[in-house]
Amino acid sequence: MADKKKNEAKQKPGVSSFLRGTVLADERVTRQFPFIVFLVFLGLLMITNRYHSEKTIRKIELIQDTIDDLRSQSITNSAKLMHMSKPSEVVRKVQEAQLGLEEQVRAPVRVVVPRMDKK
């Protein structure tokens, strides 16, 4: 009879004991309570980390799109500047503005100054 009582006390908790809530009062479960709390803490930590990483990824994608837009704008502005700085365009703009400047017809001459040795 004593063996039968020991076996009943050591039986694994079933569905009925889980539904009644007596499984939480079992000694085996209460011994594992700190470990269960640790696992819950790790789960929450993983969820928080995932949320933070997805938020960072969204920021990176937004900044990458902005960089692409600025890069294309820079290329467009560079092409416009190269077109505007062509000598023919400069002459046309000066004539439109009626500044009274004329295009030089002679090639520029290099001025060479002889070096004097110091003694």
The pTM of this model reads: 0.52
- Give CA separation, 78 vs 62, 67, 90, 97, in Å: 24, 16, 16, 23
Distance from CA of residue 77 to its chain's centroid?
A: 27
pLDDT of the residue at 71:
97
For the chain, the distance separating the N- and C-terminal CA atoms, rounded to the nearest angstrom, is 127
pLDDT of 22 over the 80 cut:
no
Is the model more confident about 61 or about 16?
61
Angle (CA) 51-40-56 rounded to 5° is 10
Q: What is the pLDDT of residues 83-102, one digit of tens each?
A: 988 988 888 888 889 888 88
Q: What is the pLDDT of residues 29-81, one digit of tens each?
A: 788 889 999 999 999 999 999 999 999 999 999 999 999 999 999 999 999 99
